[in-house]
Amino acid sequence: MSSSAEKIMRGVGASPGIAIGRALVVSRSPVQVPYRPLAEDQVDREVERFREAVGAAQNELNAAKAELGPDLADYAYIIEAHLGILGDKMISQRSEELIRSQLINAEWALGLAEAEAKGIFEKVKDNYIRSRASDVEYVAGQVLRHLSGNNGIELSTIREKVVVVAHDLSPAETTQMDLGWIMGFVTDMGGPTSHTAIMAQAKAIPAVVGLERVSAEVTSGDFVIVDGSNGTIIVHPEEETLHDYRDKQEAYEIYAQEILAQAHLPAATADGRCLEVGANIELAEEVGTALNYGAEAVGLFRTEFLYVSQKTLPTEEELFTNFAAVAQRLDGRPVNIRTLDIGGDKFASSLELAPEINPALGLRAIRYCLKEPSLFRTQLRAILRASVHGEVRVMFPLISGVGELLQARQMLEDVKRELAGEGIPFDPDLKVGIMIEVPSAVAVADLLAQHADFFSIGTNDLIQYTLAIDRVNEFVAHLYQPLHPAVLRMVRQVVTAAHGAGIPVGMCGEMAGDARDVPLLLGLGLDSLSMNPLAIPRVKQVLRLASAEEWAGLAEQALGYATAAEVGRFMQGELARHFPEILAPRTPLPEDLG
C-alpha cells in the first residue's frame, strides 16, 4: 500500500475486531504548565479562574453524558466517575488549597494535586484499580486545557473514514466517535481495564492501547491495520498482509455476530452438563454490561474500589446502596460479594496501612478485616442488609485455614444478631463462600468444606503463591504458568474436596476467562466460571461445543504430564482437534519452564 516498509507495532488489545484504513493523527500538544508565584491580592482571582475551568470541564462531561444513546446508557457511570473526580477534594479542593497555601498559579497547583492523586492509585498492583490513575489524568487534563484556552479534540466533527491515532483519549472523547466515520483507534497510553478501553468495547470499535510511540511514528494518511484482538497494528501493510487481514476482518465480523447472538443461551455441554458462567465486576454500573454479554451471575463483586476511590472510609449506607443496586439489577441472579481484599498489593487512600517488608505475605484480605473488626462489621452489615434485595452471597478472600473461616463466620453471626435486634431485615440463610487462593487452603480443603457453602478458586493468587512467583516482576513473570502440573493438581484436589462435601466449586481468576483453558477446567469438574464480561460469549460457545465426559478423560491425561510445557503442547493439540475454527493456539512453552 506504500513505498514505506511494512511495520508491526505491538500494544494491548483493548477492544476486539479489525479496522483497516487511513490514519488520522489527532495530536494534542502537551499544554505547557507555567510556574507563576502570586501576590496575596491575586489569590482570590486565581481560585475563581480555577473554578471557572472546573465548571467548563463539568459542562463538557455533562454534555457528553447527555449525548449517550440508549445503547450506551449503562456506561454513563464512566462519565459520572469523571464528574465525581472533578468534584472530589483530591483534585478541586486540593488544588485550591495549594493555590492559597503556596501562593502559586492554578495550573501549577493542579499539576501538584494530580500527581498526589495519581500516586494513590499507582501504588496498587491490581490492574483495574491502578488504571484509575488515567481517569485522574483525563480529568486534570480537561481542566488544564480550559485554563490554557486549548479546548482539545473534537472527534464528533470528523467526516472521513479514518483510524484515529492519538497520544491518549478520554472516555468522553470515545463516546463522541461516530462509527460511521471512525473505524478504530490506537493510543500511546492506556491499558485493558481503562475506562477508555471499556467505552471502546461498549461501542464495539477495534482499539489497541499502550503502544507508547504510535502517535509519533504514524503520520496522517498512512495506511494502517488495527487488530484489537491481539493488540497489534500494522503500518504500511504489504498487499499480501492486507489481503489476509481483509479475510480475517470478514471472518471476525461473522463470528462476533454469531457468538453475541448466542451469548444468552445456557452454557450446556454437548452431553448435557450445565455450568454457571458469571462476570467479575468492580462497580454496580457494570451489571448492565455483564448481562448484555450473557452473564448468568456475578461470580465476583470486588469491593476495593469503594475504598480506594475516596479519602474517607465508605459508610455502611454507601456500601449497602452499592450492594443492593447490584442485587436488584441482577433480578434474581446470584452475586458473590467478596469482602475487602486490601493490603499486600492493594492500597486504600482511606486506610492507614503500615509498610511491610513482604506485603504479599502480610496483613491483607481476611487477616486485615479480622484485625479491624469495626471495618469488617460495617461490610457485613451492608451485605446482610442487601441480601433482601436479591440472591446475595458473601465470600471471604485469602482464607488459609479453618480457624480464620470460623472467626469470620462468628463475626457474621454476631452481626446477624445485631441486625435482628434492631429489626433490620436480612436473609438469615445467606450463603457463605471462601476463595481458595493459598496452598494451605488446598491442603485442608476437605476441612474447610465442612464450614462453607461454596468454594471459588482465585487462580491469580493461587498460582503466585504455589509457584512462588511475583507475576509483575519482569524477571520471573515468564514462570507464571496456569498449566503448571502443581496448579492443575491443586484445582483437582479442591474440586474433589468440595464435591465430597456436597458443595459447588467455581473459579474467578483470569484462567477462568481464557477460552483455551476452559475445556480443561470443564474436565477437572468445576461447576461455575466467572470472568471479564467480554470473555463470556466465547467461553459459553466453547462449553456448548465440548463434551464433559470426553474432557474429563483428557483432563486425566493432562494431569499425567510433568511440566507446563508438556501440558501446553497436549492442550494445543486437543484444542486444534476439537475447536479448530474458534481457538487461536497459545504460544508454545519452552522446555525449561517447568
Confidence grade of residue 172 (pLDDT, cut at 50, 70, 90): confident
Instruction: Answer whether residue 300 shows pLDDT above 80.
Output: yes
Contact yes or no for 27/241 (Cβ under 8 A): no
Confidence grade of residue 126 (pLDDT, cut at 50, 70, 90): low
Q: So what's the pLDDT on residue 343?
A: 58
Rounded Cα distance between 513 and 293, Å, is 13
Q: So what's the pLDDT on residue 125?
A: 60
Instruction: Record the pTM.
Output: 0.70
Eight-state DSSP code of residue 74 = G
Largest CA distance in the chain: 80
**Which structural domains are found in the chain, ordered by start?**
7-28+153-240 (3.50.30.10), 40-148 (1.10.274.10), 261-578 (3.20.20.60)
Range 164-184 average pLDDT: 83
Range 306-322 average pLDDT: 83
Among 72-86, 173-187, 311-325, the range of highest mean pLDDT: 311-325
Instruction: Answer whether residue 435 shows pLDDT above 90.
Output: yes
Rounded Cα distance between 551 and 271, Å, is 11
Three-class SS of residue 277? Answer: strand
Instruction: Answer whether residue 594 shows pLDDT above 50.
Output: no
Q: How far is CA 152 from CA 26, 34, 142, 443, in A?
A: 9, 19, 8, 57
Q: How far is CA 305 from CA 85, 282, 345, in A?
A: 13, 7, 14
Contact yes or no for 167/214 (Cβ under 8 A): no
Rounded Cα distance between 300 and 283, Å, is 11
Q: How far is CA 166 from CA 155, 178, 220, 410, in A?
A: 11, 16, 11, 54
Average pLDDT, the chain: 86
Packing angle, helices 564-578 and 485-500, rounded to 10:
70
Burial category of 571 from C-beta neighbours within 10 Å (exposed 0-12, middle 13-18, buried 19 and up): buried
Rounded Cα distance between 584 and 163, Å, is 26
Confidence grade of residue 195 (pLDDT, cut at 50, 70, 90): confident
Contact yes or no for 131/193 (Cβ under 8 A): yes
Range 571-591 average pLDDT: 71
Active site (catalytic) residues: 195, 508
Rounded Cα distance between 163 and 160, Å, is 10
333: cell is 441472579
What percentage of the chain reaches a pLDDT higher than 90? 51
What percentage of the chain reaches a pLDDT higher than 70? 87
Instruction: Answer whether residue 579 shows pLDDT above 80.
Output: yes
Burial category of 297 from C-beta neighbours within 10 Å (exposed 0-12, middle 13-18, buried 19 and up): buried
Q: So what's the pLDDT on residue 206?
A: 92
